[in-house]
Structure 1
Amino acid sequence: MAAASWGVLYAAVEVTWAVTGTTVQWKEHSAYAPGVQLFLAALALLAGGACLAGTRTLADLGRVAVATALTTALPVFVVGMNGLPIHFVTMTTLSGIESTTGLAQVLLNTAGVALLLLVGLSHRRRLRGDCPRCGRPHAGASDGPLAHPAASRAPGRTRVAVYLLMCGLLPWAGAKTIWTLGGNALGVAGDDWQRTTSVGASGPSKATASAGIDVTVLAAMVGIFLLLGLLYVWGQVFPRWTLFLSGRRVPRLLPLIPAWLTGIPLTMYGAVLTVMAPLMAVGVLPEIKPSPPFTSGSGITWFVEFGGLAFGGLGIGLIVAARSYAARTRPVCSSALEVTQPE
C-alpha cells in the first residue's frame, strides 16, 4: 500500500512540475524536460500498480507482469537518486541547497527505490513459496512474533574485502588533506586550493578546514563509521557510550537504509569516474581543461581517478557490508523456528 501511495504522489508531483514549467535540476547545468517528467509519472503509476497487484494471488502471466514492471522501473529510479550523496554533503556542511526541486526529486526517487526494493523482495519470496516477511518456508500467518538472531560480527572474508575497498579513499583523502594543510599535490598549491574552496563556503566548512580537515573527507569518515557498524557487534546492539540506549537492539533498518541508499549511487558515480579517467588519459575522451586551482589536465585526470576509487570503494564497501549485516540480522517468524525444531 505504501508503494502504491508513493506512485500516486510521485506522478502528481511530476505532472504538476511538467504542466507549470517548474525547473527541476538534474545535474549542475541541466534540468528535466517536461516529456521526461511525464514519462517518470507514468512509470511511477505503473510501478505502484504492480506493487499493489503483487500482494494478491496471481496467475503466471500476472506474476511475470509484476516482475517485469518492477525490474523496468527500479533501475530508472535508481539513476534518479544518483545525486543523494552530493545533497547529503551540502546539507551536513550547511553549504545551502542549490535546487529545492532537485533535492525533492532525489528524495522522491530514493523513497521509491526503497519501497520498490522491499516489494520486489517480498514478491520474489512469494514466487518461491517462502514467507514474504521472513523469507523462510513455514505454515501459518506471517504476522506473528519475530525471533532475532544473536549479535555477531561479519565473517573474516567480508571484513578483509571491506577494508581493502576502504583503502580506495586514501589517495583522494590524502590529496585533499595535503591541500587543506597548505601543501602541494597534483600540481595544485595548497594556498590556491584554500582560496578557491573558501569562496561561498559555510562556517562549518571553514572551521574544519582551519583544523586541517576537508569537510568532504569528514563526510567520508561518517561513511566509514557506518561501515564499521555494519561489520561489528556494536552495530546490532547499542554500545555503552550511547547512554540510555545502551544494551538495546539496534533497529535493523536504521543502518541498512542509509547503507543501501548511499552505497548504490556512490558505486555508480565511482564507476563512471574510474572508467572516465583512463579514457581521458589515452585520448578516447576529451581531457578536462584545467581551471583554478588546477594547473594541468593531468592533475585533473588523476584527481578524477582518485575520486572514482574513493567513491566506488566506499559505495561497494557499503553494499558488501550491508549484505552481510542483512543476512546476519534477518529475523525469522517464530512459526518457522517451530517447523525446524526436531521432534
Structure 2
Amino acid sequence: MSAIAHTQADGVPGPPPTGPWRRRWPRWAPAAAALWAVLYAAVEVTWAASGTTVPWKAHSAYAPAVQLFLAAVALLGGGACLATTRTLRRPLRAVVVTALTATLAVCVVGMNGLPVYFVTLATLSGIESATGLSQVLLNTAGAALLFLVTLSYRRRLRGDCPRCGWPHDGAGDGPLVPPPVSRAPGRIRVAVYLLMCGLLPWAGAKSIWSLGGDALGVSGQDWQRATNAHASGPSKALASAGIDVTVLAAVVGVFLLLGLLYRWGQVFPRWTPFLSGRRVPRLLPLIPAWLTGIPLTMYGALLTVAAPLVAVGVLPEIRPSPPFTSSSGITWMVAFGGFAFTGLGAALLVAARSYAARTRPSCAEAGKGGRPPLTVILQMTGCLSSFR
C-alpha cells in the first residue's frame, strides 16, 4: 500500500493540503455533507409538522411519517460523513460505508423528478409544485455531497490519493494531469446505440401526433389540443412547427451522448467559437449525464415493468384520459415511454462511465517518486486500447 503524505493508514486525513479550496474537496466535503443533513432534516420535520404537501409524483404526496424517516436517514448519513474524519476500527469503517451508501441510495431515489422539472423550467411551462422541486433539489445536493464523501473515504482506506484516486506520494492539492483525448471503445458505442433505439417507438408516436397524424387510437388534432391546453408559449410555437418539446429534449440528450462517446466531447471542436481546441471541463458533460441518466433509468424501469403487468391483468387497467380513448392505447404509450426513458437513461450512464474513466486525471505527483506512469495507469483501467 502506498504511503501518502496527507492520508494515514486508517483512512483519516493527515496534515491538510494548502492548495485552492476546489482542490481540497476531500477535506471539506464531510463537513458540507453534515450541514446539508441538518438542513434537510429541519426542512423535512418542518413540512411534516405543518402538514405541507410535498408531491413525489402526480396526485401523490409524501406522508408525514415518510418525511420523518427521511430526516432520520439524512442525520444518519451526516453523522457517517463526520465519522470519516475520525480514526475507526475495521468493523466501524464497514458501518460507516454502509450508512453512507444507504443514505446515498435514498437521495438518488429522491432525484427521480429532476428531468421533468428541468423540461418544464426550460420550456417556461411553470412549476407545478415549489415544495416538490425543493425536495428534488435537496436530494440532488445530498446525493452529490454524499458521493464525494464516499468516494474520497474509500480511496483513503485503500491508501490512495483521495482526490485523484491514484497511489502517489505528496499532497493531493497540486495540478491535475489529464489523459490523452480518446473516443469510447467499440463495445461501449454499440451498447449505447442499442439503448438509444428504445427512443424510436415513443419519439415516433409523438412526432406523428405533432405532424397531425393518428397513432394508438389518438388523432393528431386531439393530441395537439390536449398538450396545448397547458403549454407555454415556446412549447406551442414548437408544436405549431410539428416539433414535440419532449422529443426535442430527447434530441438534446442524444447530443450529450455523442459528446460523451467521441473526442469532440473532450476538446471543443472547430465549430465552437472562442473555445476551439480548448479542453472541455470534465464535469461539464458528466454532471448533466448523471443528473439526467439516473432519474430517467429509474422512472423508465418502473414504466417498463408496469405496462406488461397492466396488460396481463396483474395491475389495474389504466383508465384512458384525453387525448387517449382506450386503455390499450395509453398502456402502449406507457410501455413506449418506459423503453425510451430506460434506454436514454441507461445509455447516458454507460457513456458517462466510459467518459469518466477515459478522462480521469491524475495529480502531477503521481508520475514522481517511482510511481506508475500514466500509460501503466491506463492499462490498469483497460482504457489504453481506446487510444490506439
Instruction: Please classify the TM superposition score into its range, dividing by the shorter chain length.
Output: over 0.9
Higher relative helix content: 1
1:341 Cα offset (Å): 4.7
Equivalent residue for 1:130, pick from 157, 160, 167: 160
Distance 2:86 2:172 in 1: 15
- Cα RMSD of the aligned pairs, angstroms, is 1.5
1:107 Cα offset (Å): 0.5
1:239 Cα offset (Å): 2.1
In terms of mean alpha carbon deviation, does 145-154 or 180-189 score higher? 145-154
Distance 2:373 2:362 in 1: 13
- Secondary structure of the residue that 1:26 maps to in structure 2? strand
Distance 2:135 2:248 in 1: 26
Distance 1:341 1:96 in 2: 52
2:230 corresponds to:
200
1:10 corresponds to:
40
In terms of mean alpha carbon deviation, does 203-212 or 138-147 score higher? 138-147
- Structure 1 runs of 4+ aligned residues shifted over 4 Å read none
Within a 5 Å distance, the mapping from 1:302-313 to structure 2 comes to 302-313=332-343
The letter of the residue matching 1:64 is A
The letter of the residue matching 1:268 is M
1:307 Cα offset (Å): 0.4
* Paired positions, count: 342
Distance 1:49 1:226 in 2: 36
1:215 corresponds to:
245
Distance 2:71 2:323 in 1: 42
The letter of the residue matching 1:215 is V
1:248 Cα offset (Å): 1.9
1:52 corresponds to:
82
Distance 1:276 1:14 in 2: 30
- Secondary structure of the residue that 1:240 maps to in structure 2? coil
Does residue 65 (structure 1) correspond to residue 95 (structure 2)? The answer is: yes
1:273 corresponds to:
303
2:372 corresponds to:
340
1:3 Cα offset (Å): 1.4
1:306 Cα offset (Å): 0.5
The letter of the residue matching 1:233 is R
Within a 5 Å distance, the mapping from 1:111-150 to structure 2 comes to 111-150=141-180
Does residue 29 (structure 1) correspond to residue 64 (structure 2)? The answer is: no
The letter of the residue matching 1:313 is G
- Secondary structure of the residue that 2:271 maps to in structure 1? helix
For residues 121-156 of structure 1, the C-alpha deviation after alignment (integer angstroms, 9 at most, x for no partner) is 212222222221111112222222211112111111
Unaligned 5+ runs, structure 2: 1-30, 375-388
- Secondary structure of the residue that 2:214 maps to in structure 1? coil
Within a 5 Å distance, the mapping from 1:180-329 to structure 2 comes to 180-329=210-359
1:242 Cα offset (Å): 2.6
1:181 Cα offset (Å): 0.5
TM-score using structure 2 length: 0.85
1:113 Cα offset (Å): 0.9
1:340 Cα offset (Å): 1.9
Distance 1:272 1:24 in 2: 21
* CA 1:55–1:234: 2 relative to 1, 3 Å: farther
- Secondary structure of the residue that 2:272 maps to in structure 1? helix
2:384 corresponds to:
none
The letter of the residue matching 1:340 is P
Unaligned 5+ runs, structure 1: none
Equivalent residue for 2:140, pick from 92, 110, 130: 110
The letter of the residue matching 1:218 is L
In terms of mean alpha carbon deviation, does 182-191 or 71-80 score higher? 71-80
1:268 Cα offset (Å): 0.7
1:177 Cα offset (Å): 0.4
The letter of the residue matching 1:115 is L
Equivalent residue for 1:83, pick from 85, 92, 113: 113
Distance 1:294 1:29 in 2: 19
TM-score using structure 1 length: 0.96
Distance 2:84 2:142 in 1: 16
Distance 1:244 1:72 in 2: 44
Name the % identity.
78
1:240 Cα offset (Å): 2.6
